[in-house]
């Protein structure tokens, strides 16, 4: 029980539950974008080391990390919302299709820096895996490059990717405030910003504790997935 809001006299739990749905949808959409863009690009870069493609992808990743989400939000709003008019500039939308349409720009803005992080981690992990002897042996057996890449390479590199993905999901959840505020999305981030402006202490405490608990849960699940996905850890356990 977090008490009642000073501003609206509503239960803080009610406010959090009302706002959390939009935030979870935005974070999930953004997380899908991160994985759908970062992992294929990392595979492409890792299989073409030191080529123009690899250097171009790495340079784009550096630019993505350097751009804060709120700056990307303003850029996307101006270019694709105001100038081109391809996407709405505020609000969450109604219904499934309209909701996805309205959340596309916020999800891209939220995902931009995290795409770069997952890309760099996945690329480094795959390059390390490709240098292992079992990859050389698999290639010497005449296996198709695609099978070597997906079955031997990606599977053995998933441990580091899962860890980075878990941290990314936690970061996305923690970074929603400014993006939701920029796009006028009434989620947990916007609720927190509004409560800070109004000095609504019970709401600030309730949202902060909720976000902290969610991040701890994500981190715990990530640690479990790391053990399950990395076959090398199973081998080390059996040897000891």
Torsion of CA 112, 117, 120, 126, to 10 degrees: -110
Helix (H, G, I), strand (E, B) or coil at 11: strand
- Rounded average pLDDT per 10-residue block, the chain, 240 residues: 77 85 87 86 80 83 77 84 82 81 86 82 78 70 69 66 76 78 82 83 86 84 73 53
179 CB-near residues (< 8 Å, 6+ apart): 26, 69, 70, 73, 106, 109, 110, 185, 189
Distances (CA, A) of 195 to 18, 58, 90, 228: 15, 39, 20, 40
Q: What is the pLDDT of residue 155?
A: 65
- Contact between 105 and 80 (Cβ < 8 Å): yes
Show the tokens assigned to 58. Answer: 């790495």
86 CB-near residues (< 8 Å, 6+ apart): 80
* Among 168, 80, 173, 164, CA closest to 125: 164
229 CB-near residues (< 8 Å, 6+ apart): 158, 159, 162
Q: What is the pLDDT of residue 156?
A: 67
pTM for this entry: 0.77
Q: What is the pLDDT of residue 116?
A: 82
Show the tokens assigned to 181. Answer: 């505020």
């Amino acid at each position: 029980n977090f008490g009642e809001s000073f501003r609206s006299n509503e239960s803080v739990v009610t406010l959090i539950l009302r706002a959390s749905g939009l935030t979870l949808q935005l974070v999930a959409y953004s997380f899908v974008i991160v994985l759908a863009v970062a992992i294929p690009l990392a595979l492409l870069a890792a299989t073409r080391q030191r080529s123009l493609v690899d250097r171009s992808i790495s340079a784009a990743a550096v630019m993505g990390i350097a751009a804060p989400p709120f700056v990307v939000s303003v850029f996307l709003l101006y270019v694709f919302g105001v100038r081109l008019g391809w996407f709405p500039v505020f609000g969450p939308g109604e219904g499934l299709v309209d909701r996805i349409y309205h959340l596309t720009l916020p999800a891209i803005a939220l995902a931009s820096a995290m795409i770069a992080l997952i890309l760099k981690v996945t690329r480094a992990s795959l390059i390390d895996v490709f240098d292992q002897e079992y990859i050389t042996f698999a290639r010497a057996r005449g296996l198709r490059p695609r099978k070597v890449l997906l079955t031997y390479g990606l599977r053995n590199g998933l441990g580091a990717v899962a860890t980075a993905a878990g941290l990314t999901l936690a970061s996305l959840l923690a970074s929603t405030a400014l993006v939701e505020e920029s796009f006028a999305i009434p989620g947990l981030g916007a609720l927190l910003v509004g409560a800070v402006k109004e000095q609504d202490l019970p709401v600030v405490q309730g949202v902060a504790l909720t976000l902290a608990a969610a991040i701890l849960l994500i981190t715990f699940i990530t640690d479990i997935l790391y053990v399950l996905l990395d076959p090398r850890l199973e081998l080390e356990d059996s040897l000891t």
